[in-house]
Amino acid sequence: MLGDVIDLLVCPVCRHDLGLDAGAVRCPRGHSFDVARQGYLNLLSTPVKGDTPEMVGARETFLTKGWFAPIADKVASFAHGVIGDAGAGTGYYLAHAVKERGLALDVSKHALKKAARAHPRIGAVAADVWKPLPVRDAALDTLLNVFAPRNASEFRRVLKPTGTLITVTPNPDHLEPVVERFGLLTVGDEKARRLADTLGDHFARDVTEPVAGWLDLTATEVMSVIAMGPSAWHARAERVGEGARVRMSVQVTVWRPKS
Ligand SMILES: C[S@@+](CC[C@H](N)C(=O)[O-])C[C@H]1O[C@@H](n2cnc3c(N)ncnc32)[C@H](O)[C@@H]1O
């Protein structure tokens, strides 16, 4: 719940502390922010386009089947202490990893509604990773970043010097043959190098572990995989006539903050 994470947050306008009082969130300078009926806090100054209700619904349907549980288990095995998740989506990975308390950050209110309910000690907050995060310096022991955009300098700032950044990135064969058959976005072979380029100024790579396997998906599950992506693909999802054997192939990487 929001009360579990309010001490980790700062006002996005003036960077002072935030307090939760009678269901409202305010800073001492008088800036106030809405807590949605569904339990998430909106700290976005302007709305940002994130995952749509259809994408979030498809993602939740797919993830609750447990097909990506080996990825969630691997991520959880590296996580410790107070955990944030940048681009948390429905909160699936954060809920698996959380031990003390967890902070789900995303721009999609549809995703945040789910994340706010994913675990009793998760607080869900609307925040844009491309802006200064409304999170205190060195507030987090662990930060997750799973198939989501990343902002290296902000990730470094909100992590303790002893903290851990955990990224999950797809390999070029992830979700084949669905990616090729339905013309979804492909993952370039350059992805690993680009990840190192993006994070390398602020983080040193510690370990990378692959998580891979074959998933025997029903036609409905294949449709969910397609519909988890941008809505232009939804029409293609309706053309799925049968199940498929689909590849899961990702890298889970642990990064240490550089001093
Ligand atoms: C591919 S989904 C992954 C969600 C989740 N990590 C998972 O794997 O289930 C990417 C997520 O990043 C969010 N997102 C996109 N742009 C963002 C931004 N600028 N700041 C924060 N979140 C963003 C989307 O709304 C979406 O929930």
Domains of the chain, earliest start first: 2-257 (3.40.50.150)
Please identify, by atom number, the ligand 1 atom nearest to the C-alpha of residue 144: 6
Query: Quick check: 232 pLDDT over 60?
Result: no
Ligand 1 center to residue 160 CA distance, Å? 23
DSSP at 94: H
Instruction: Determine the atom of ligand 1 nearest the C-alpha atom of 130.
Output: 19
Distance CA(38)–CA(239), nearest Å, equals: 34
Q: How far is the CA of 87 from the centre of ligand 1 (A)?
A: 4
Nearest CA to ligand 1 atom 9: 89
Q: Which residues form ligand 1's pocket by a CB distance below 6 Å?
A: 48, 50-51, 59, 87-90, 92-93, 106-108, 111, 128-130, 146-149
How many residues are given for the chain? Answer: 259
Ligand 1 atom nearest to CA at 56 = 27
Between the CA of 218 and the centroid of ligand 1 the distance, in Å, is: 25
Query: Is the model's pLDDT at 191 over the cut of 90?
Result: no
Three-state DSSP at 161 gives strand
**Ligand 1 mean position, distance from CA 29 (Å):** 31
Q: Do residues 159 and 165 lie in contact, with contact meaning Cβ atoms separated by under 8 Å?
A: yes
Residues whose CB is less than 8 angstroms from the CB of residue 95 and which lie 6 or more positions away in sequence, other chains included? 102, 118, 119, 122
Quick one: pLDDT at residue 136?
98
Q: What is the pLDDT of residue 23?
A: 79
With a cut of 80, say whether residue 96 has pLDDT above it: yes
pLDDT for the residue numbered 20: 92
The whole-number average pLDDT for the span 105-123 is 97
For residue 170, how far is its CA from the centre of ligand 1 (angstroms)? 14
The per-residue pLDDT for 235 is 59
Partners of 212 in beta bridges: 249
Q: Residue type at 92?
A: Y
Name the residue of 62, 90, 109, 129 to mutate for ligand 1: max ligand atoms within 8 A of Cβ: 129
**Which whole number is the average pLDDT over 21-43?**
93
Amino acid (one-letter) located at 111 = A
Given the CA of residue 108, which atom of ligand 1 is nearest to it? 25
Per the prediction, the chain carries an average pLDDT of 92
Asked if pLDDT for residue 80 goes beyond 70, the answer is: yes
**C-beta separation of 108 from 56 below 8 A:** yes
pTM of the model: 0.95
- Give nearest CA residue, ligand 1 atom 5: 89
Question: What is the reported pLDDT for 189?
Answer: 59
Among candidates 56, 55, 65, 51, which has minimal Cα distance to 221? 65
Structure tokens at 15: 């960077």
**Ligand 1 center to 193 CA (angstroms):** 21
pLDDT at 184: 74
* Ligand 1 centroid, distance to 43 Cα (angstroms): 16
pLDDT greater than 90 at residue 88: yes
CB 121 within 8 A of CB 99: no
For position 188, what pLDDT does the model report?
63
Q: What is the mean pLDDT of residues 10-25?
A: 93
pLDDT-based confidence at residue 221 (cuts at 50, 70, 90): very high
Residue nearest to atom 27 of ligand 1 (CA): 89
